[in-house]
Structure 1
Amino acid sequence: MAPRQITCITKVPNHHDSHRRIEAVGGGDWQHSEETAIANVKSDPTAYFVSEQGKSVLVKVQNHDGRDYLKTENDRFLPDNLLSLPEC
């Protein structure tokens, strides 16, 4: 799979846990559930990226309390690259 730029997210309604906020990611004419995106990143670590102000970072899978979730690599630029994206 060619790397896809994530340009929007769908948040879980009434999310309270910072590790369970994203329901889906998307860009252009595609949208993947969080579960699908996690599986894609596990099989290809370069599957998704986020760009902000000309800087791109890869999306990775992190685990918290036994649950996988999506986040961007540490870029020392924006702490919540994914969560700062607009809703799909």
Structure 2
Amino acid sequence: MAERVQISCINKDDRYSPYERIQNIGGVHGGSRWRLSVSEAIKCIEQSKYSFYTKVNDHVRNVVIASRNGVKYLKTEADSDTPDNLLSLPECS
């Protein structure tokens, strides 16, 4: 069973495409800061190592893998087509 981990921050690059804009996701889990590249996070989800979620204003949203034009990216289940919920998280330090 996948370990459930909250994403509380992201790192963005300068691309304008919302599907390729997030480089890293991160947060605090088990008292330690963590950060993964999006490709690492996708691999962890596919291998059922981790399941990720966001929690904003007490709204919990599962993070899933989506694909557009053959490019895999992360988005929350609440998003219809764009990863806006993830893009609204603060930058990881």
Task: Bin the TM-score by the shorter chain.
Answer: 0.7 to 0.9
Where does residue 24 of structure 2 map in the other structure? 24
For residues 5-44 of structure 1, the aligned pairs below 5 Å read 5-12=6-13, 14-28=14-28, 29-44=33-48
Higher-strand-fraction structure = 2
TM-score, L = length of structure 1: 0.86
What is the alpha-carbon distance in structure 1 between the residues aligned to residue 85 and residue 79 of structure 2?
A: 9
Aligned CA RMSD, in angstroms, stands at: 2.0
Cα distance per residue 1:41-78 (max 9 Å; x no partner)? 222396100001111111000001001000000268xx
The question of 1:56 aligning with 2:57 is answered: no
> Structure 2, unaligned stretches of length 5 or more?
none
Identity %: 36
Where does residue 71 of structure 1 map in the other structure? 75
Distance 1:61 1:41, change over 3 A: same
Amino acid at match of 1:74: A
Q: Contact 1:7–1:86 at 8 Å: present in 2 too?
A: yes
Q: Secondary structure at the match of 1:36?
A: helix
Q: Secondary structure at the match of 1:38?
A: helix
Query: How many residue pairs get matched?
Result: 85
Q: Pick from 71, 82, 86: which aligns with 2:86? A: 82
Q: Secondary structure at the match of 2:86?
A: coil
